[in-house]
Structure 1
Amino acid sequence: MSDGTGAGPGARARSRLTVLSGPSGVGKSSVLAELRRQGPDVHFSVSVTTRKPRPGEVDGVHYHFVDAGEFRKMVANGELLEHAEFAGNCYGTPREPVERALAAGRPSLLEIELQGARQVRAAMPEAQLVMLAPPSWDDLVRRLTGRGTEDPAVVARRLAIAREELAAEPEFDEVVVNADVRSAAARLLDLVVGPAPDVR
């Protein structure tokens, strides 16, 4: 099936859309930072969110930070590929940059929550869903409680949500265990880029 770019089979594999999801505290930010270093040609989607920036986060780099009214307007105008509410905040993926990257033959990666991953799967069945998982449940609990940035009630809620997210593992095409950031990023990059074109 043609992808509309006029490229060959190898290019189609390289322009695949991959969706990364996983529970809070599993290390998605660290793995993605390493993936950016290892795979500079990958297009990383920057999500829109209504939550406040955390220390060190830069608007337009980590997220596009917007207020609730602007977010609702984007939803109404069909500007988001998916959107979901998580832990009291809204998140969404701008549609146009993703479609532009795929049309240009660049592999594209979205890092979104489970609700959004399900929406992308429904809208784009060819998308690859990858779950980033902790080495163990106890490890995830240590990561979340060790942050020291949120009150115990928030942590308890995140753990409850994490259980639900990990239970959705059968819905995903691949699972990458984050026992080591560099190794997890290398495995994820292999999945994002896909097999190298056969030039024989």
Structure 2
Amino acid sequence: MNKTERRGKIIVLVAPSGAGKTTLARRLLNEYPEIKFSTSATTRPPRKGEIEGEDYYFLNEDEFSRMIEGNAFLEWEYYSGYRYGTLQSEVDKLVDSGYFPLLDIEVKGALNVLEIYGSEAISIFIEPPSMDVLRQRLRKRGSETNVTLKKRLQRAEMEMNHARHFDHIVVNDDLDTAYEEIRTIIEPFITD
């Protein structure tokens, strides 16, 4: 069966900031050509090395508001002072082309996506081994102030309380082990 003869299913990776979901997502994208990243939109400024249209669509507040009014998002939310959203058009374009869209999103948005797509989506919650490890990872980024670090850690505690709502939980203590566990989860999903 080729890509145009089937509709892809959605893979949703969920994790607190700093748990490693973006690194794990990139590994999936490198290994599986049938999985494509669904680029989200945000009002936050780009980080060093991020590319417009690849990492995110970087929008100003007015552009983002117009897109909300036009129902362009599957979900959107405020996070650490910025808005983030999953574009319905990005996901639909990939699904209709037979790809498996990969969504790298936060808990609230992931729950909304799962409600919309039901069994056409599989969700994996990436958990840090501990809050201390998460704190170290966030500090290592070098992009957090004491205030933003505190907010991210408070948010992470709340998000981890929702882990049970997702299909699978993978603890990212060792990147290679976590990646192999994710591969084991998604392979039957993308080959059925």
How high is the TM-score relative to the length of structure 1?
0.85
Report 1:142-153 matches (<5 A): 142-153=136-147
Instruction: Say how many residue pairs are matched.
Output: 189
Query: Greater Rg, structure 1 or structure 2?
Result: 1
In 1, the alpha carbon distance for the partners of 2:4 and 2:145 equals 53
Letter in 1 for 2:35: V
1:155 aligned onto 2:149: yes
Structure (1/2) with the larger helix percentage? 2
What stretches of structure 1 of length at least 5 have no aligned partner? none
How high is the TM-score relative to the length of structure 2?
0.88
Report 1:31-70 matches (<5 A): 31-70=24-63
Corresponding residue of 2:11 = 18
Q: What is the CA-CA distance between 1:122 and the residue it aligns to?
A: 2.3
In 2, the alpha carbon distance for the partners of 1:136 and 1:191 equals 23
Corresponding residue of 1:107 = 100
What stretches of structure 2 of length at least 5 have no aligned partner? none
Q: What is the CA-CA distance between 1:174 and the residue it aligns to?
A: 0.5
Asked whether the equivalents of residues 107 and 193 of structure 1 are also in contact (C-alpha less than 8 Å), the reply is: no
Identity among equivalent pairs (%): 34
Letter in 2 for 1:161: R
1:187 aligned onto 2:165: no
Which runs of 4 or more aligned residues in structure 1 lie more than 4 Å from their structure 2 counterparts after TM superposition? 195-198
Corresponding residue of 1:170 = 164
Letter in 2 for 1:17: I
Q: What is the CA-CA distance between 1:51 and the residue it aligns to?
A: 0.2
Give RMSD over aligned pairs: 2.1
In 1, the alpha carbon distance for the partners of 2:93 and 2:131 equals 38
